[in-house]
Each structure stands twice: as C-alpha cells, then as structure tokens.
Amino acid sequence: MEGKAAVTTSTEHGEASKTSARTVVIGSSRGGAASRALSVVDLILRVVAVVATVGSAIAMGTTNQTLPFFTQFLRFKAQYSDLPTLTLFVVANSVLAAYLVLSIPLSIVHIIRSRARYSRLVLIFLDSVTLALVTAAASASAAIVYLAHKGNVRANWFAICQQFDSFCDRISGSLIGSFAAMAVLLLLVLLSAAALARR
C-alpha cells in the first residue's frame, strides 16, 4: 500500500510539473506573439513617419514665391532659406527621415527576434533624441509661420502672407507632416517601452 501511494504521489507530481511547464510555454508563446505584434506596428509607424518627414522637408525646401514690383526688373522674393528657423526645420526633418530609414532594419530584426532587449533600449534613446530635435524645429517654425500670418504690431513685424500667399500656404502645410511625425515618434517610444515591460 505504501508503495502504491508513493507511485501515485510521484505520478501526481509529474503531471503537475508537466501542467506547469505547459503553462509556462503557452505564456511565453503568447508574450512572444504580443511582442512580435508590437514590432510589426513599430515597423509600420516608422514607414509612416519617413513619408511624413520627407514630405515636410520637400514641401519646405522647395518653397519660394516671387512678386513683381512696379517693373519687371524689380521683384520681391521669399524662400525658406531667408529664415534660419525654416532652414533648421528642413535639416531636422531630413535628419529624422534618415534616422528612421536606418532604424527600419533594426525594427525588422525585432519582428524576427521578439526577445531582443538592448536594441530596443537603443531605439528608445535615439527615438527620444530625434523627437526632441523635431519638436524644437517644428515649434520654432510654427512661431515663424504665425508671425508671417499675423505679424506683430508692437515689434513692427508686418504680416507678409497677404502678399506671399502661396509661400505661406506651403510653409503652413509643411508643418502638418512634421507634427504628425512627432506624434508617431511618441507612439514609437511608448511601444518600445511596452515591449520591454513584457520581458
């Protein structure tokens, strides 16, 4: 009887250990699938951000408008390079687009190897740095665009958008893609943090 009881007890322990092992395997597979899904979303968002930043940089970098004044030989011209803030905007969006393109292979690696950790930490750091860069450039450019539309009477800065309407429309539109890229970068940081939290 004692031998049968010992066999029964060992059998129950063996079944319990198998059940716990299956639970661990199922839990880890679910965690891996969730991390892989987050990595796929990360990749899609990076592609979207590349399109937004490249579009903003091109829209701003190709903006210019020339107005005739009295004669054909005397003209007023407005272009983005006349304002250093808008030049910074083009450079910041170009740098961000280049970084995002370079980070896409790493994002693909995270889809294949969902348990990668240190590379995610690197992406969180670099995403945060580029987020700060594009936020500063877009915010400063938004202030310039506001002055171009509204002016400032106290500082004797006149609104130029009544004359250079096409120029103002282009620089205003280019801000949309940049602010969209800011939102995407913030989501990327949160996604990477969520993927790390599941480790």
What is the domain range of residue 110?
34-66+75-198
What's the CA gap between 84 and 82, in Å, rounded?
7
Q: Do the domain assignments include residue 16?
A: no
Residue 101 resides in a domain: yes
CB atoms within 10 A of CB 77: 11
Query: Does 22 map to a domain?
Result: no
- CB-CB contact of 175 with 139 (8 Å): no
Looking at residue 116, which CATH number applies to its domain?
A: 1.20.120
What is the number of domains present in the chain? 1
Residue 132 lies in a domain: yes
Run of H or E residues at 77: strand 71-79
* pLDDT reported for residue 32: 61
14 is a domain residue: no
Q: Is residue 1 part of a domain?
A: no
Q: Within a 10 A sphere around the Cβ of 24, how many other Cβ atoms?
A: 10
**What token pair was written down for 67?**
């107005």
pLDDT tens for residues 47-58?
999 999 999 999
pLDDT at 11: 44
Q: What is the chain's pLDDT, residue by residue, as a tens digit (199 residues)?
A: 444 444 444 444 444 444 443 443 344 455 567 778 888 898 999 999 999 999 999 988 888 777 666 555 556 677 778 888 889 999 999 999 999 999 999 888 888 886 777 888 888 999 999 999 999 999 999 998 888 888 877 777 778 777 777 788 888 888 999 999 999 999 999 988 887 776 6
Residue 154 lies in a domain: yes
C-beta pairs of 109-112 under 8 Å, 24+ apart in sequence:
110/35, 110/39, 110/42, 110/195, 111/36, 111/39, 111/40, 111/43
Looking only at the bridges linking them, the beta strands covering 71-79 and 64-69 are antiparallel
Q: Which helix (H) or strand (E) holds 78?
A: strand 71-79
Give the span between the Cα atoms of 90 and 59, in whole angstroms. 9
Find the Cα–Cα–Cα–Cα dihedral 97, 99, 104, 107, rounded to 10°: -130
